[in-house]
Structure 1
Amino acid sequence: MRKGLHKANKEPRAWQRMLSGRRLDLLDPSPMDIEIEDIAHGLARVARWNGQTIGEHAFSVAQHSVVVEEICVHIQPDLEPRWRLAALLHDASEYVIGDMISPFKAALGYDYKLFEERLEHAIHTRFGLPAKVPAAVKKLIKRADRACAFFEATQLAGFALAESIEFFDAPPEGYDLRIQPLSAAQAQLGYVQRYQALSQALEAE
């Protein structure tokens, strides 16, 4: 009886073990337990649009993030490497919590947003970025994010052109994208390589 009561009263596990061996506390994430390899591995296996896309491979959050950073630079060619890194990492929290579609995030409300922000702040601290990026940079990343979503919606998720423009706006002038979803291994490698290039650019500043 006591053994059963002990199990019933035991606190639920609130950490996740990563392949690197790190144990990330989901309720109080420490920057010391965050590794780029874990992020890349996780994001390469998280599907955009809940996997409701055409093609042999899902379009991963890792591949999406690389595209968003590229679009940011198209819009603002002189963007500093640190903010380009922020763009690459804009969905990094999803390596833990997955990619929830916007309507579901809205339904979950503020508590979910707070949880997501806490994890994002820990990720930024780990990689030498401010916990909160400047409003102008955040706006730029959001614009690039929506532009990428426009292409994903029309090419992969079955949206009509007019419908995509209604929900995501038209993409920035002069930018075009033909999406070919990569395998998880390819997306993971591409994400890590982009991180390494941006990290080297930061060190050279």
Structure 2
Amino acid sequence: MAKGTGATRNSRNTPRAWQRMLSGRRLDLLDPSPMDIEIEDIAHGLARVARWNGQTIGEHGFSVAQHSLVVEEIAAHIQPTLEPRWRLAALLHDASEYVIGDMISPFKAALGVSYKDFEERLEHAIHARFGLPAKTPVPIKKLIKQADRACAFFEATQLAGFSHAESLDFFGAPPAGYSLTIDPLAPNDASARYVHRFHVLSEAAGYESVPAAHDTE
């Protein structure tokens, strides 16, 4: 039976500070352990978290999982020589949202530093789990942010009701030579594509040997 380090840190007199994942892992939200993180849990969660708080058109919400796939693609378009490990970092750039959800930027700002600290701890644990540096180098972080804003431009104009002028004002112009027509995927499809892309990039980066975190009795 799968067990996580968070399983023994709770008592009846202590508020629960862990979340049980479908894999059976129990992720301690205050002190997340890399060994309690599974890519399938991340993909499953992100595929069910909607961008724009769900305020988009279409049969399905535009999930963070699908958004992350596009961001990785745009980052590689901007910088074609981007190493696989940094493409993997782009794919995982919003991975913490499988726990905390996709909070819109104004709400993040209102919550302040404590939210950012929590997000950073979880991001460090995710990176450690999958072989990436705890802190992404500044140039790569800027590249991923550029790709993220480009994806947001397409999302805003095609799904969220923004005019072209509004999107340019908020997100800037997308990179030259890149175009995107968004077709929001059903959650199971988005999850499957995310996991597949993770394994492709992990293998290309030489991280495929990272063992699964499942414990057995």
- Where on the TM-score scale, by shorter chain, does this alignment land: which range? over 0.9
Tell me which residue corresponds to 2:4: none
TM-score after normalising by structure 2: 0.89
Letter in structure 2 aligned against 1:13: R
Q: Which of 24, 48, 52 is 2:55 aligned to?
A: 52
Match status 1:132 vs 2:138: no
Q: Aligned in 2, Cα 1:100/1:204: closer, same or farther, shift over 3 Å? A: closer
1:73-109 deviation per Cα after TM superposition (whole angstroms, max 9, x unaligned): 0000000000000000000000000000000000000
- The answer for the alignment partner of 1:117 in structure 2 is 120
The partner residue of 2:180 within 155, 177, 182 is 177
Which residue of 2 is the match for residue 95 of structure 1?
98
- 2-side partners of 1:149 and 1:104: how far apart? 17
Select the residue among 73, 76, 87 that pairs with 2:76: 73
Q: Runs of 4+ in structure 1 displaced over 3 angstroms? A: none
Shift of 1:202: 1.2
The answer for the alignment partner of 1:39 in structure 2 is: 42
**Helix, strand or coil at the partner of 1:153:** helix
| C-alpha displacement of 1:200 | 1.3
Task: Give the TM-score of the pair, scaled to structure 1.
Answer: 0.94
Cα pair 2:34 2:125 within 8 Å, conserved: yes
Percent identity between the aligned chains? 79
**Structure 2 residue 66 is matched with structure 1 residue 63:** yes
Deviation, 1:203, is 2.0
Asked whether the equivalents of residues 130 and 207 of structure 2 are also in contact (C-alpha less than 8 Å), the reply is no
Counterpart among 166, 170, 180 of residue 167 in structure 1? 170
Please tell me the residue identity of whatever aligns with 1:15.
W
Question: Structure 1 residue aligned with 2:202, among 192, 196, 199?
Answer: 199
| Deviation for aligned residue 1:204 | 8.5
Q: Report Cα offsets for 1:44-100 as digits up to 9, x if no partner.
A: 000000000000000000000000000000000000000000000000000000000
Partner secondary structure for residue 161 of structure 2:
coil
1 CA distance for matches of 2:149 and 2:206?
A: 30
Aligned residues: 197
Measure, in 2, the Cα distance between the counterparts of 1:16 and 1:80: 33
Distance in 1 between the 2:127 and 2:178 partners?
28
- Alignment deviations for residues 109-146 of structure 1 (CA, whole Å, 9 cap, x no partner): 00000000000000000000000010000000000000
Cα distance, 1:163–1:19 mapped onto 2, change above 3 Å = same
